[in-house]
Structure 1
Amino acid sequence: MKHWVLFILLCLTAPSSFAANWQLDSSNSNLNFFSIKKSTIGENLSFSRFEGNLNDKGEFELSISLTSVKTGISIRDERMKKLLFDVTNFPKAIITAKVQQSHINNLSIGMHEKLSVPMKLQLHGHVSTLTANVTVAKLSDKTFLLTSVQPIIVNAQDFKLDAGIEKLMKIAGLPSIGEAVPVSFTLLFKKK
């Protein structure tokens, strides 16, 4: 039960070799995170609502609705929204990045490029800089896929979420919930 992120997140890169604006196709994308409770029980969790875009200046933004957290158990979803994320005051997590377009300008259809992209994650009223190792694959002149090469580790303490984790542990009667959460993603972008 602790989980979050985002975050997330994850990050961006993207071929804007084509000097166009790109819109995230969220229905064909996913954003997942993994949590460990009781030191040995792992759980796959996700967010179902997020939107993003990349403009022709290489500016990337991904907005994640924290109210869309999915754990597979409705009462746990509600507890995470209220006790961990505090969605009344912090309904979204935002990831921003600047993409160096030169890395992908010459990407041919069917080809891919691995990149390391610094990004900023805004979560629970705090901002932290993370790095995402991603692969950008050009599927066509109008679509590209952005995937995490390895999970991004989001630490609860960096966003003052540790108090929320303590509340979740108490209400669920758990001895522990991990505070370092791996986040992975597959994001499909389409030319506007």
Structure 2
Amino acid sequence: MRALVFLLAFLPASWVLADWQLDPKLSRISFVSVKRGDMADVQRFTELSGTVDGQGLARVVIPFSGLDTGLALRDERTREALFETERFPQAEVSSQVDLAVWEQLAVGASQIENLEFQLDLHGQQRRLKAEVLVSRLGEERLQVTLLEPLVIKADDFALIDGLEKLKAIASVPSITPEVPVFAVLNFQRQP
């Protein structure tokens, strides 16, 4: 009986130390680009990975090899000219979250949080903030969703030259230097 009481007392502590893995099949980061002033294209990344460790260190990796613009040729041009994937193969988002609070959410409950994070993109790092909805979808599942699009500015990440190259290659007069980014990230607790 004492062993059972000890095990039950220890169980919540082991949950706090458990890692949460990003489920790439149920997660999405997408953005909207506008060319020629009025032609919008929705684009997304299909190869996401990430974790939230037991101390609340969250990390999401966005490989540019998973860029899906809807056209294979545009994927290739964007990877080479804009993202320069030979030098910068991925972007990374990192943050420190209060994992204990997230894990205490009841199944089916949600809460809004202001999340500070760092975006490492094209060799540049910026501290950003976003309002997110954290939802407990099940005992072993968490979802983090941007409540509003996050506007990423090409100038903040040394991407203006790449945009100019992309415009020339695609023969378009303009591509907006600011894009709204949307994210839905689902995490599964690992034993």
Hey, what does 1:107 align to over in structure 2? 105
Report deviation, 1:100.
2.6
AA aligned to 1:190 is: Q
Hey, what does 1:7 align to over in structure 2? none
Q: Of the two structures, which has the highest relative contact order with CA contacts closer than 8 Å and spacing of 6 or more?
A: 1
Q: Aligned equivalents of 2:70 and 2:85: distance in 1? A: 19
* 2:49 and 2:61 in contact (8 A); partners too: yes
Moved more, 171-180 or 93-102: 93-102
Report deviation, 1:145.
1.0
Among 114, 129, 132, the alignment partner of 2:130 is 132
Hey, what does 1:56 align to over in structure 2? 54
Hey, what does 2:74 align to over in structure 1? 76
Q: Aligned equivalents of 2:153 and 2:135: distance in 1? A: 29
AA aligned to 2:31 is: F
The gaps in structure 2 that reach 5 residues or longer are 1-13
How many positions carry a matched residue from both structures? 177
Report deviation, 1:106.
3.2
Hey, what does 1:93 align to over in structure 2? 91
CA deviation vs aligned residue, 1:62-82 (integer Å, no higher than 9, x gap): 001012111111111110010
3-state SS in 1 of match to 2:115: strand
Hey, what does 1:162 align to over in structure 2? 160
The gaps in structure 1 that reach 5 residues or longer are 1-16
* 2:54 and 2:99 in contact (8 A); partners too: no
Q: CA RMSD in A?
A: 1.6
TM-score normalised to structure 2 length: 0.88
Deviating beyond 2 angstroms after TM superposition, the runs of 4 or more aligned structure 1 residues are 100-106
Q: Aligned equivalents of 2:131 and 2:93: distance in 1? A: 14
Q: Aligned equivalents of 1:136 and 1:21: distance in 2? A: 17
Hey, what does 1:66 align to over in structure 2? 64
Q: Aligned equivalents of 2:188 and 2:102: distance in 1? A: 16
Decide which structure has greater helix share: 2
Hey, what does 1:175 align to over in structure 2? 173
Report deviation, 1:87.
0.4
TM-score normalised to structure 1 length: 0.88
Hey, what does 1:37 align to over in structure 2? 35
AA aligned to 2:171 is: G
3-state SS in 2 of match to 1:169: helix
3-state SS in 1 of match to 2:62: strand
AA aligned to 2:176 is: G
Using the aligned pairs only, state the percent identity: 32
Q: Aligned equivalents of 1:18 and 1:111: distance in 2? A: 18
Q: Aligned equivalents of 2:104 and 2:61: distance in 1? A: 28
